[in-house]
Structure 1
Amino acid sequence: MRYAIVESGGKQYRMEEGVSLKVDRIHAEPGAEVLLDKVLLVGNESEAMAGQPYVSDAKVACEVLEHGRDKKIIVFRFWRRKDSRKKQGHRQEFTKIMVKSIQA
């Protein structure tokens, strides 16, 4: 099984062919194909090839399935002895993608 570690939106994701996953929002229409070229590592069961920082000529082809927003998380800040607190909610936007192929 071939896999790749890819950087997208300042985060790193482990991708395998045929697997769908949520990544930070990508500005592309659903159904469009996206090439991710910031590949940090490409490997399989027996070996791995790491880049410095990126693997040259490596790309991951993905198809955009849908866009959405994750469930709400609560951000709560509390200052002791000040009788002060702040409560906020946040919903992170995401793009669901399907990995089609890994080229290295």
Structure 2
Amino acid sequence: MYAIIETGGKQYRVEQDQVIRVDRLEAEPGAEVTLDKVLMKGGDAVEVGAPYLDNANVTCEVVDHGRGKKVVVFHKWRRNDSRKKQGHRQSYTTIKIKAIN
């Protein structure tokens, strides 16, 4: 069985015992988190929500928090001898899918 969930403005296809990285969640490592925004459940029978399924959720365990690789943002304006260099590291949370309800 699989489900398509939404968290952090992004959609993920998840299965039981899968480990994924999502945008940072406010939860301590080892805590259980319930994600309620389930767009679709699949398996023997497919259920599709409009936009979300009622009475469906995904239970996850927070494994750890981290930060991704640095992304360099470089702007240069021609003929002005002007430039701007910025870096960004996105925070993420690693979660393990325990159950699809």
Superposition TM-score tier, normalisation by shorter sequence? over 0.9
What's 1:58 paired with?
56
Match of 1:9 in 2: 8
TM-score, length-scaled by structure 2: 0.93
Note closer, same or farther for the CA distance 1:57–1:77 as it changes in structure 2 (3 Å cut): same
Aligned to 2:32: 33
Runs of 5+ in structure 2 lacking a partner?
Answer: none
Name the counterpart of 2:80. Answer: 82
How many residue pairs end up in the alignment? 101
1:93 aligned residue: 91
| RMSD, aligned α-carbons | 1.2
Identical pairs, percent:
58
Amino acid at match of 1:95: T
Q: 1:21 maps to what in 2? A: 20
How far apart, CA to CA, are the structure 1 residues paired with 2:17 and 2:79? 53
Q: CA-to-partner distance for each residue in 1:10-63, whole Å, 9 max, x for gaps?
A: 11111110000100000001000000000111112x542111010111100000
Q: Unpaired segments of 5 or more residues in structure 1?
A: none
Mapped to 1, the partners of 2:38 and 2:100 lie a distance apart of: 10
